[in-house]
Structure 1
Amino acid sequence: MTVTTDLASPSASPPLGFPGWSLAARQAADAVPDQAIDAFWRALNYLSAAQLYLLDNPRLARPLRQADIKENPSGHWGVCPPVNYLLAHLGPLTTWRPAESELLVLHGAGHAGPSALAHAYLNGALHLTGKGPGWSMPDLRALITGFPHTERFGGEITPLIPGVRHTGGQLGPALAIAQGMVLDAPHRLVVPLIGDGELETGATAAAWLARRALVGTGHHGAVLPVVLANGLKMGGPSLLSGMSQDEIHTYFTGLGYVPLIDDGTDLRAFRRLLAHAFAQVRPLGEAGPQPVIVLTMPKGHTGPVQVAGRQIAGTPAVHKTPLKSPAHNDSEFATLAAWLASYRPTELFTTQGRPTDLVRQALPGTPTEPDTAPPPASPAARKDRSRPDVSAVIRERAGHGAFRLFSPDEIASNRLRLAEDGSLPDWAAEILNEEICHSWLQGYTETGRDALLATYEAFAPVNTSLLVQHLKHRRLRYRAGHGGLSSVNYLITSLGWRNTYTHQNPGLISSLLDTEDSFVHVYTPADATRAAAVLSVMLAGRDRVNFLITDKHPGPAFPPDPFREELTDGAAVWPQLSHRGIPDIVLASAGDIPARELTASVAPLRRSHPEAKIRYVHINDLAVLGPAPHWPYALSERAFTRLFGNDTPVLMAVPTYASTVRALLAARGEAHRFHIVGYQDPGHPLTPEGLLEQCGLSATTLCAQAAYLLKESSS
C-alpha cells in the first residue's frame, strides 16, 4: 500500500531546486521497464541470499544439493531486501541524472554487506578474480562462495566494497553525514538509507531537526532520506513499528518533513512515489517541508516465512541467517531450495555469470566519484605572518572556499572571531550536539573538502565512538587505495584547567592515542602563535585525524626560533632555557598551560640549584612520543636520545591524563625515568589555581618536583 502526501498542496511551499532530478526520474521510468527494475531487485536479493548459503551451483543451473551449501552459514539477511528495493529503483537514475550532477547512496545500516557486495558485482565494479569487467562465472562463484570475504572485503558495510562511503556498525550518524556531504555542493543529491532502529539513536533524532541550523548558510545539494521501517531491530520490534501510519505521519510532519509511505508491494506505484519525491526535494539550507520516504517493507521480505512449523517472517530470526543449518536439516534444505529458486536466477545471470539483458537495462550508469582533489593550500600555511591567531587562520582558510567550521554552540564562548563585526558567517554552523557536528564534518571531508570542529575539551569525548569508528573507516579506505582524503580536524579549547569541575575531561585524547592509529596527531603547541601555525598545517594536510589543544585565554609568547623543529619533528629543545652539554634533568612541556607553568619553574630551580644543568624540551605533537612502527611519525631513537638523554631524569608536564603519555613512553621502554604530571580528577570543585596545585602542575609544585628528582639522581 502506498500513502503519498501531496507536497505541492496549497499549504506547502513551492518546490525549489532540483527540477532536473524530476526529469531524470521520468526519463528513467520511460526508458527502463518495470520488469527490468523487478529483475534487478530479484538479482540483488538472490545474490544476497546466495552469499550466505551457497558453496557451489551459483546460478542454480541444476537442482540444489546439500553439498552445494555452506556448513556454517553466516551474515545478515533481514535488512537486504528493503535496501535492495531502493538500490534497484535508484540504479537507472544514475544513468539519466542531470548533467554534471551526482547521486550518492549512503548506507546507514552496516549489516547490509551482502547487498553492497551484490550491487558492486552487478554494476561491474567488483573484481574478484582479475582486472576484467567483473562479470564472469569465476567471479560470480568467488562472490558467492567466498562470503564473508573476511580478509578482503568483510561481510558488512566497509569502504573496501566499491561505492561505500560510510562504514556501518556505528548506528545513528548517516543522516547527518549525508547533510555534511551536500553542504556547498549544489550538484549533489545524497540518499541515506536509515534503519528504523537508527531512529531510536540520539544522532538520528537530532539530525532531523539539525537541518534548520543550516538555513541560509549557502548553496547546497539535497538530501532525500529513506527510512527502512521494516519493523524489527536485532532483538525485537522497533519503536517505529508500534506507531500507526497516522502517528508516523504526525511524527515526521512535526519535524518539518512530509512522509511518503509505501510498503513496496506495487512497483509501479513506488516508481511514481520516487519521482514525486525527486520533484519536491529542496536543497539543504532552504526552509520549508522536505520529503522523506518511509518504506514499510518487512524485514527479510521474500525470504522464508516458516520452516517445520517455526515462524521466521516477522521475528528476529530474519536478522541474520533465517535457516541455521540447511546442510544438515531436511526441512531447512527444502525451504532454502524453494527460497533461492523463487528468484529464478537463470533468468538473471547468463552461463558466463553476466547479468542478463533484462537486468542490465536497470543497472546504474558509471557513478561520479566525489572530487577529492585538495583545494589550494591556505596562504596561512605558505607565508610568514605577524603574530597570527587561530581566528585569523580560520578566516583566511574560509576565504578560499570549500571549507566549513562546525561547533556545538560554542564559537563565541571559545573566543573565535570569524567576522569583523562579530557575526556568524555562512560557512560556520552551530548546533548544540557534538555528534551532529562530527557527522557534518565527516560527510564534508569524505567528499573532498576541508572542515574544522571547534569544541570544549570536556564535551569532545562524546564523539569518541564516532571517531574510533571513523578511524577504522579511514584505515580501510586507505587500504583500498583511496588515500588523499581531507583530514578530520578538531580544535579543542575551553580547557578544563580553567573551567568548572563538571567541564574537566581530557579523555578524548586518551581514547584516540590508545588506538595507536597512524592517522592520529595530538598537537600541543606552547602559545597562540604556534597554535595558529599548527592549525594552518592541519587544514592543508591530508589523511590525518588531528587534534589541536590550545587555551582560549591569552598566555605568554615564547621565542619562535625552535618552532620549525617542533613542527617538523614534533618536539624541540628550547635553547634559551637550556644549558649546554649533558643535562642533570630534562624539563619537558606539552601544551600552553603546562609550558606556562613549567617555564616559570626554571628560574627558581636555577636559584636553588645553581650547579644543575637543565635542558628544556617542548613537545608539539604527543604522537611522536610513541614508538615506531605503530607511530610512523615517531621520534627516531637517535632524536629521542638527543632530546631526553639516556638515563637523565625527565619531568614532563602535559595537559592530558598523565597515564596517556606514560603509556606512549612505556611502549618505548622509557617509563622508569619519566615523571609525568597531568590532569587528575580532584573529586570536587576547585579554582583554576587550586586545580594546578592539586595536580602538581603549578610552577611552585613543578619546581619542588624537579628539585626532588635532582636530589634522587645525585644520591
Structure 2
Amino acid sequence: MTETALLPGPAVVASPGDFPDWSQAASHAATRVPDAAVTATWRALNYLCAAQLYLNDNVLPARPLRVADVKEVPSGHWGVCPPVNFMLAHLGPLTAGRPPGSEVLVVHGAGHAGPSALAHAYLTKTLTLTGNGPGWSAADMRALAAGFPHTRAYGGEITPLIPGVRYTGGQLGPALAVAQGMVLDAPHRLVVALLGDGELETGAAAAAWTGQRALLGSGLHGAVLPVVLANGLRMGGPSILSGLDEDELRAYFTGLGYEPFLHDGSDVAGFRTVLAEVFARLRPLGVARPQPVLVLTMPKGATGPEQVAGRRIAGTPAVHKTPLKDPARNREEFAALAAWLASYEPAELFTDRGQPSDLVRQALPDPAPRPRPAPPVEPLTVRGEQAWPLVSAVIRERAAAGSFRLFSPDEAASNRLRLAVSGDGMPEWASEILNEEICHAWLQGYTETGRDALLATYEAFAAVNTSLLVQHLKHRSTRTVTGAGGLPNINYLITSLGWRNTYSHQNPGLVSAMLETENPTVHVFTPADTTRAAAILTVMLTGRDRANFLIADKHHTFTFPPDTIREELTNGAAIWPHLSNPGPGAPDLVLASAGDVAARELSAAADQIAAARPDTRIQYVHINDLTVLGQPDTWPAALPDDTFARLFPAGVPVLLATVTQAPAARALLAARGETARVRVVGYRDPGRPLPAADLLELCGMSATALTAQALSMVKEPR
C-alpha cells in the first residue's frame, strides 16, 4: 500500500469547500495529449519494469540481446506492473490539466509495484541513480535495471525511499481507507486508490467500501476514486472476484453504493472516454450520492510472454513474479525474453541518451512543486476541569484550532469522551465506525497529509491494529532516511482497561508489541491520573514524528498532588515526596508505579507499609513514560544514567507495578542490566472471568498483595 505523489498541490487551499470541477482535467487531457502519447508512456513504463527484472546491460538496445546482458537470478514482481502502469500513463495528462489549487495523489494497494514506482520516478526525472542528482542518461537507465532490486537505496518493492512515494505497503487491505483519510477536510484533493483482487478479499477493504457512509455529513472533503485492478489472480491462483461475471460485478459495486465503470484496457481511446466520464462524476467524500468506481479488467501481467516451450504463462500464477525463471541458461526462455523486450520497441520510447522520447514526454505529469509544510499548531492550555472531563476538554480545544480529527470505533461515549460542547451528538470532526483497522487507516491518511489526529479505543481492541502500526513505523523510519520527516504524531488514547473489564476485553498487548519494535519514536505514556493524562494529551496533539500511546482508565477518579507533573512530563518519571520516607542514606526499597491503576494500588500499599513498618525507608517513583526505563542508546527519552541512579539507587530493591504486561517493562530494564533487584508486577491472563478485585489479587496488583511483596523484599538481603 503506497502513495505516489503525482502532483502535490499547495498545502493551503484558496477556497476551502470549493470542490474542483475534475471534468476539466479530462477535457484538457483529451485536447492536449494524443492517444499515441499515452500508449507510448504505458509501453515505456512496461519496458522499464521488465528491464529491471531481467537486464544488467544493453538496456538501451544498441545491439541484439546477449546472454551476458541477462541477470543470473531474476527477481521482483511483474504481474501487477502493467495495469498499474496503464493507470499511471493515463493519470499523467489528467494531473497536468488539474483545476487550479487542486492536487492528485495515487495510493497503491500492492507494495509489489516497486518496478512501476521506480520506472515512473525515472520518467518523471526524480530518481537519482548516478552522479549527484536525478537525470536522464544511458548510464542512469543501465543503473536502474542493473541495480534492481536497489536493496540499499530504494528497495525492490514500494517504499518512501522512492521519490514521490510517501506511503509504504506491507499490510494488505487498508489502501482505500487510507485514501479516504487523506481527503478528509481537503476538498481540493483527489486520491486515486489502486486496489488489487487480493486486497478486496481482506476485511479492511471490505469495510472501507461501506465505511464511507460513516463520513456522511462530516464536513467538506475531497474525492476518492477507487480503481479496482480486477486481473483475476492472486499470488497463487484465481481471486474470488474473478468468479463474478460483468453483470455480477456491476451488481456488487452498485450494492455497495457506487457507480461502476468497467473496461478491459484493450482500447486506449475507449478507456480515456470512460475515464473522462468517471472524472465528471467525482463527488466529495461524505456526500450521499453514488461515487464512481473504475474496474479495470486487464489480465495480470498483460503484454508479457504468453507461453514458452508449450508452458502456459499468461493467465497463470507464473506472471505474479518473474514469468521467465532462468533465461540466462534456458534457450527458449532467452528467446522469449528477447522477443518480449523488443515488443515494446524501446527505440521509439527513448533516445540513445536514455531520455524519454518527445511522444512519451507529452503524457508525463508536469513537474511537481514542493508542498509547503503545514504551519505548527500552538501548544494547548489545560483548562481547570476535574477528572475525566478534562481529557475531553483538551480534545475539544485542539479540534477548535482546526486541521484535526478524532476517530473511534463507536466508543467515544463509552470511553466517557464528551466531544460536543452541548448535547450528546458527535461533532463533524469526530468519526466513528466499528472497525479498528478503518479508524487507523483514516488516521494514517489524515496525518500522512499533514494534519493531527487521535484514535480513541478500548485497550483490548487496540491490539487489532498491531500489524498496521508495525508497518506504519517502518514507513516512517524510511521517510526519515530520506529527510522527509515532520509528520504529525500517530496518537492512540487507550482506555476501557482490562483491569475493570470483562475477560474477553482484557488484552494490553499492543503496547508490548510497540515496545518490542524498539522504534525510537514510540512512547508509552502511563499517567497516574486524568490531570496528568490531559497534560500529556496536549503534548501529543501538537507534536511531530512520534508514535504515542496514552493508557488512561476512564473510570479512574483518583487525583495525586500536582507538584511533580512538570518533572514527569520533562523526564518521564519523578519521585513523589508525599509517599517517600527515605530517611538518611539510601532507601530500603523503591516503589515505582506506571499507570493510574498501578498508582492507585501502589500508593495505598505505601501507606500500608508505612503503618506496618514505620522504620522502612521508602522512595516512591512514578513512571510517566515507560520508554524512559530503557537503554539510552535505543530510546531517546531514556533516563540518563545519573538520573536513573537517583531514582533507583544502586543496590536498592525495586518493586514496579505497571498497568501493562510485566514482560514489557522487564525487557526495558533488562537492556539496562537491571533485572536481579527489580520485581515487576503487571497484567497476566487469569484464564477465566474474574471480578475486578479478584483480578488485581491474582496478578499481585492489589494494595494488599503489593504490600506483602514489598515487605518480603525489605527482609531480603541487598
Task: Give TM class, smaller chain.
Answer: over 0.9
8 Å CA contact retained: 1:626, 1:667: yes
- Match of 2:166, SS state, is coil
CA distance in 2, matches of 1:131, 1:261: 44
8 Å CA contact retained: 1:173, 1:203: yes
Counterpart residue identity of residue 503, structure 1: H
1:86-135 C-alpha deviation (Å, 9 max, x unpaired): 00000112211111100000111110000000001100111111344421
Given the superposition, is the C-alpha separation of residues 233 and 372 from structure 1 closer, same or farther in structure 2, using an over 3 Å criterion?
Answer: farther
- Match of 2:574, SS state, is strand
Question: Which residue does 2:612 correspond to in 1?
Answer: 608
- Match of 1:223, SS state, is strand
CA distance in 2, matches of 1:638, 1:384: 35
Question: Which residue does 1:110 correspond to in 2?
Answer: 111
- Match of 2:415, SS state, is coil
Question: Which residue does 2:446 correspond to in 1?
Answer: 444
Question: Which residue does 1:520 correspond to in 2?
Answer: 522
Question: Which residue does 2:570 correspond to in 1?
Answer: 568
Given the superposition, is the C-alpha separation of residues 372 and 460 from structure 1 closer, same or farther in structure 2, using an over 3 Å criterion?
Answer: farther
Given the superposition, is the C-alpha separation of residues 267 and 45 from structure 1 closer, same or farther in structure 2, using an over 3 Å criterion?
Answer: same
Question: Which residue does 2:167 correspond to in 1?
Answer: 166
Question: Which residue does 2:240 correspond to in 1?
Answer: 239
> Match for 2:480 among 478, 481, 486?
478
> Match for 1:461 among 460, 463, 475?
463
Question: Which residue does 1:332 correspond to in 2?
Answer: 333
CA distance in 2, matches of 1:159, 1:352: 28
8 Å CA contact retained: 1:378, 1:396: no
Offset, 1:17:
7.6
1:360-389 C-alpha deviation (Å, 9 max, x unpaired): 001111235555424422433xx6756571
Counterpart residue identity of residue 218, structure 1: G
- Match of 1:540, SS state, is coil
- Match of 2:647, SS state, is helix
Counterpart residue identity of residue 553, structure 2: D
Question: Which residue does 1:537 correspond to in 2?
Answer: 539
Question: Which residue does 2:630 correspond to in 1?
Answer: 626
> Match for 1:496 among 488, 498, 506?
498
Question: Which residue does 1:145 correspond to in 2?
Answer: 146
Counterpart residue identity of residue 53, structure 2: L
Question: Which residue does 2:11 correspond to in 1?
Answer: none
- Match of 2:541, SS state, is helix
Question: Which residue does 2:705 correspond to in 1?
Answer: 701
For the pair 1:651 / 2:651, whether they are aligned, the reply is no
CA distance in 2, matches of 1:687, 1:133: 64
Question: Which residue does 1:292 correspond to in 2?
Answer: 293
Offset, 1:21:
1.2
Offset, 1:713:
2.8
1:164-214 C-alpha deviation (Å, 9 max, x unpaired): 122112100000000000000000000010001100000000000000000
Counterparts in 2 of 1:12-27, with a 5 A limit? 20-27=21-28
Aligned residues: percent identity? 69
Given the superposition, is the C-alpha separation of residues 370 and 215 from structure 1 closer, same or farther in structure 2, using an over 3 Å criterion?
Answer: farther
8 Å CA contact retained: 1:79, 1:300: yes
CA distance in 2, matches of 1:502, 1:370: 46
Where structure 2 has 5 or more consecutive residues not aligned to the other structure, the ranges are 1-16
Provide the aligned length of Structure 1 versus Structure 2. Answer: 697
CA distance in 2, matches of 1:491, 1:579: 34
8 Å CA contact retained: 1:18, 1:278: no
- Match of 1:706, SS state, is helix
- Match of 2:364, SS state, is coil
8 Å CA contact retained: 1:438, 1:453: yes
Question: Which residue does 1:4 correspond to in 2?
Answer: none
Range that drifts further, 370-379 or 131-140: 370-379
Given the superposition, is the C-alpha separation of residues 650 and 92 from structure 1 closer, same or farther in structure 2, using an over 3 Å criterion?
Answer: same
TM-score by length of 2: 0.96
8 Å CA contact retained: 1:496, 1:506: yes
For the pair 1:585 / 2:586, whether they are aligned, the reply is no
Question: What's the RMSD between the two structures over aligned residues?
Answer: 1.3
8 Å CA contact retained: 1:135, 1:353: yes
Given the superposition, is the C-alpha separation of residues 87 and 385 from structure 1 closer, same or farther in structure 2, using an over 3 Å criterion?
Answer: same
Question: Which residue does 1:379 correspond to in 2?
Answer: 380
8 Å CA contact retained: 1:19, 1:279: no
Counterpart residue identity of residue 361, structure 1: Q
Question: Which residue does 1:54 correspond to in 2?
Answer: 55
8 Å CA contact retained: 1:371, 1:447: no
CA distance in 1, matches of 2:548, 2:24: 43
Question: Which residue does 1:196 correspond to in 2?
Answer: 197
8 Å CA contact retained: 1:490, 1:548: yes
CA distance in 2, matches of 1:19, 1:575: 60
Given the superposition, is the C-alpha separation of residues 694 and 480 from structure 1 closer, same or farther in structure 2, using an over 3 Å criterion?
Answer: same
CA distance in 2, matches of 1:184, 1:690: 47
8 Å CA contact retained: 2:235, 2:317: yes
8 Å CA contact retained: 1:94, 1:367: no
Question: Which residue does 2:277 correspond to in 1?
Answer: 276
1:286-316 C-alpha deviation (Å, 9 max, x unpaired): 0010100000000000000001111100000
TM-score by length of 1: 0.96
CA distance in 2, matches of 1:651, 1:554: 22
Offset, 1:422:
2.1
- Match of 1:459, SS state, is helix
Question: Which residue does 1:688 correspond to in 2?
Answer: 692
CA distance in 1, matches of 2:207, 2:255: 13
Question: Which residue does 1:666 correspond to in 2?
Answer: 670
8 Å CA contact retained: 2:564, 2:576: yes
8 Å CA contact retained: 1:372, 1:447: no
For the pair 1:506 / 2:540, whether they are aligned, the reply is no
Counterpart residue identity of residue 595, structure 1: A
8 Å CA contact retained: 2:108, 2:195: yes
- Match of 2:716, SS state, is helix
8 Å CA contact retained: 1:47, 1:144: yes
Question: Which residue does 2:311 correspond to in 1?
Answer: 310
1:646-665 C-alpha deviation (Å, 9 max, x unpaired): 11100000001101111111
Question: Which residue does 1:83 correspond to in 2?
Answer: 84
1:211-266 C-alpha deviation (Å, 9 max, x unpaired): 00000000000000000001111100100011111111110000000110000000
Given the superposition, is the C-alpha separation of residues 384 and 564 from structure 1 closer, same or farther in structure 2, using an over 3 Å criterion?
Answer: farther
CA distance in 1, matches of 2:378, 2:458: 27
Question: Which residue does 1:679 correspond to in 2?
Answer: 683
8 Å CA contact retained: 1:103, 1:367: no
- Match of 1:110, SS state, is coil
1:619-673 C-alpha deviation (Å, 9 max, x unpaired): 0001111102211221111111111111110000000110111111111111111
- Match of 1:205, SS state, is helix
8 Å CA contact retained: 1:555, 1:592: no
Counterparts in 2 of 1:317-466, with a 5 A limit? 317-367=318-368, 372-380=373-381, 385=384, 387=386, 389-419=390-420, 420-466=422-468
CA distance in 1, matches of 2:496, 2:476: 28
CA distance in 2, matches of 1:628, 1:699: 32
CA distance in 2, matches of 1:50, 1:217: 47
CA distance in 1, matches of 2:384, 2:521: 28
8 Å CA contact retained: 1:525, 1:531: yes
